[in-house]
């Protein structure tokens, strides 16, 4: 696989804004600072979160008290509208799988903690993927499990020679990131794939994913995710629609020149890119989102594979969903606090900056500002300022759900009744997605007071209960 990414980047023609900024900076000094300071911007997260929260509240309240606030809201509205239209109407590129003369070696990794219900099924799928046996191996890290995960893995190791098992005890540090880093040092794949223990993996996933790395600027590929138990209840149905929406946004963002993102389960990373970024960050609670921003800052692109999808279990209850989404929200917010200096530097081109600013505003600033906005509306009887902006993003989300759901089954010929069903599912998805309007402001507020401890808080997976019982009884 190509490995001359850095030289290729340096020879690219810079966009006008980046070229202008370069006139006021020393690229060599900045590069040295970037390499030496990658994980040193992690301190003081609580103070930075409190400062950001204070700014959001002060600005929102001030806009209610000044007469010229309408112009600020109008500018924000134009910005949001332009980006929404770009996302809606940009043509999503048709991805054709290129043919490779020589297949690269691939290493697959799974970090498992108390996964006796699903780990055997996963190992069997990994052992039977459609790829030359001598060109891939897979590692399962038993991260101090208290159930029979380790025993099951040792038994499966006798059956599947490609399976490499790494056991970690209670003294091991770094959570999931630490487990992945420890195993990564022992792998030899040019491409490294990461799955969750509950993943359902298509047999042809490597043959579909690996050829996409022929493009030299691609540092990682995220496979589209779907929910395996989507029909269980309201929450899993909502998560299924949410995954379709996320896939839609990923495709459209990439087509606009924005940022593709990693989602943990079903992510493939070029070894050269991962080594260049320093591996997985052991000081974050969402390793995938943190790695996303560092790959882009290191001048790599992230692509998406729409078909086939990798499936995973959706959480079935409101409390489990709350804990999971709170963790995701905090991890996503952390990366802005950690890497803001590099984000505003010339390490990102203007398309990626534009994209990142839009989603930062939509996902974090608007929901957080909605609280002081509501307080001012009720106490001063003024017009709401955030609601008009949020309504634009809600329309985009509804549109994205419909198109995203449709794209999950591209070979189907949709009739009128099918479109009605898509609309019905999207309405359910919009109702389900309202939880983010609570999760986001609560998370940004709590981070200003205290952070989550840096430990692995895993989602409980039920898997195939009959298979789990069989493995326990053997």
DSSP states along 150-203: HHHHHHHHHH-TTEEEEEE-TT--SHHHHHHHHHHTT---SEEEEE-TT-B--T
Q: What is the pLDDT of residue 80?
A: 92
Residue 3 DSSP symbol: -
Residue range 79-104, pLDDT digits in tens: 999 999 999 999 876 666 677 779 99
Using CA atoms, how far residue 422 sits from 170, 244, 295, 338, in Å, is 47, 11, 35, 39
CA dihedral sign of residues 73, 79, 82, 86: negative
Q: Which helix (H) or strand (E) holds 23?
A: none
Residue that wins the pLDDT comparison between 425 and 67: 425
Say how many domains are in the chain.
1
Residues 6+ apart with CB under 8 A from 205: 129, 223, 266, 308, 310
Least confident of 56-65, 307-316, 365-374, 462-471: 462-471
- 411, burial (CB in 10 Å: exposed 0-12, middle 13-18, buried 19+): exposed
**Which positions ≥6 away from 192 have C-beta within 8 Å?**
106, 107, 108, 109, 184, 268, 269, 270, 271, 274
Can you give the pTM of this predicted structure? 0.86
Choose the weakest-confidence range: 9-18, 118-127, 191-200.
9-18
What value does the mean pLDDT take over residues 350-355? 94
Q: What is the pLDDT of residue 469?
A: 37
CATH number of residue 42's parent domain: 3.90.550.10
- Let me know: does 163 contact 270? Beta carbons within 8 Å: no
Note the pLDDT of residue 468.
Answer: 40
For residue 463, pLDDT beyond 80: no
Confidence of residue 306 (pLDDT cuts 50, 70, 90): very high
Is the confidence at residue 71, as pLDDT, over 50? yes
Distance of CA 44 to the CA centre of its chain: 24
The model's confidence at residue 13, banded by pLDDT at 50, 70 and 90, is very low
What is the band of 9 on the pLDDT scale with cuts at 50, 70, 90?
Answer: very low
φ/ψ of 229, rounded to 5, equals -110, 45
CA-based max dimension of the chain: 74
Domain extent for 369: 1-474
C-alpha to C-alpha distance for 328 and 466, rounded to whole angstroms:
31
Kindly state the average pLDDT of the residues 163-189: 93
Whether 196 contacts 119, CB under 8 Å:
no
Q: For residue 200, is pLDDT > 90?
A: yes
Average pLDDT taken over every residue of the chain: 87
DSSP string, 421-449: HHHHHHHHHHHHHTTHHHHHHHHHHHHTT
Residues in the chain, how many?
A: 474
How much of the chain, in percent, has pLDDT values that exceed 90? 73
Under a CB-based contact definition with an 8 Å cutoff, are residues 246 and 429 in contact? Answer: no
Helix (H, G, I), strand (E, B) or coil at 109: strand
pLDDT of amino acid 35: 55
Least trusted range by pLDDT, from 23-27, 45-49, 228-232: 23-27
* Residue 34, pLDDT score: 56
Taking Cα atoms as reference points, which of 234, 140, 119 lies closest to residue 472? 119
For residues 376-388, give the mean pLDDT: 91
Task: Tell me the mean pLDDT in the region 398-407.
Answer: 96
pLDDT exceeds 80 at position 458 = no
Whether pLDDT at 202 is above 70: yes
CB atoms near residue 435 (< 10 Å): 15
pLDDT for the residue 438: 93
Q: How many helices (H) and strands (E) does the chain have?
A: 19, 7
């Amino acid at each position: 696989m190509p490995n001359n990414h850095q030289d290729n980047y340096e020879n690219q023609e810079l966009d006008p804004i980046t070229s202008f900024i370069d006139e006021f900076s020393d690229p060599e000094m900045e590069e040295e600072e970037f390499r030496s300071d990658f994980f040193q911007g992690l301190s003081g997260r609580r103070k930075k979160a409190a400062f950001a929260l204070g700014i959001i509240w002060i600005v929102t309240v001030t806009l209610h008290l000044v007469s010229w606030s309408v112009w600020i809201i109008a500018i924000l509205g134009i910005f949001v509208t332009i980006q929404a239209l770009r996302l809606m109407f940009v043509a999503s590129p048709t991805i054709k799988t290129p043919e490779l003369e020589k297949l690269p070696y691939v290493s697959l990794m799974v970090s498992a903690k108390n996964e006796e219900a699903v780990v055997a099924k996963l190992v069997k799928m990994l052992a039977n993927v459609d790829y030359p046996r001598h060109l891939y191996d897979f590692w399962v890290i038993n991260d101090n499990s208290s159930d029979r995960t380790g025993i099951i893995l040792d038994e499966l190791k006798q059956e599947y020679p490609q399976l490499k098992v790494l056991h970690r005890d209670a003294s091991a540090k770094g959570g999931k990131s630490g487990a992945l880093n420890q195993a990564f040092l022992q792998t030899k794949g040019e491409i490294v794939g990461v799955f969750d223990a509950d993943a359902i993996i298509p047999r042809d996933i490597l043959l579909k994913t690996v050829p996409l790395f022929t493009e030299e600027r691609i540092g990682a590929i995220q496979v589209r995710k779907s929910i395996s138990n989507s029909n269980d209840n309201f929450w899993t149905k909502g998560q299924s629609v949410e995954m379709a929406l996320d896939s839609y946004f990923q495709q459209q963002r990439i087509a606009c020149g924005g940022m593709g993102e990693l989602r943990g389960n079903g992510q493939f990373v070029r070894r050269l890119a991962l080594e260049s970024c320093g591996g997985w960050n052991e000081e974050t609670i969402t390793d995938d989102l943190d790695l996303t921003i560092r790959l882009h800052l290191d001048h790599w692109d992230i692509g998406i594979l729409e078909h086939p999808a990798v499936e995973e279990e959706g959480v079935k209850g409101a409390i489990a969903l709350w804990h999971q989404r709170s963790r995701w929200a905090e991890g996503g917010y952390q990366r802005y606090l950690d890497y803001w200096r590099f984000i505003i530097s010339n390490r990102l081109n203007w398309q990626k900056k534009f994209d990142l600013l839009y989603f930062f505003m939509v996902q974090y600033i608007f929901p957080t500002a909605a609280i002081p906005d509501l307080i001012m509306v009720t106490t001063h009887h003024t017009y709401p300022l955030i609601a008009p902006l949020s309504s634009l993003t809600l329309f985009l989300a509804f549109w994205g759900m419909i198109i995203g759901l449709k794209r999950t089954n591209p070979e189907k010929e949709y009739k009128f009744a099918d479109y009605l069903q898509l609309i019905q599912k999207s309405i359910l998805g919009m109702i389900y997605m309202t939880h983010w309007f609570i999760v986001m402001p609560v998370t940004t507020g709590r981070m200003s007071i205290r952070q989550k401890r840096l430990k692995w808080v895993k989602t409980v997976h039920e898997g195939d209960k009959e298979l789990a019982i069989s493995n326990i009884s053997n």
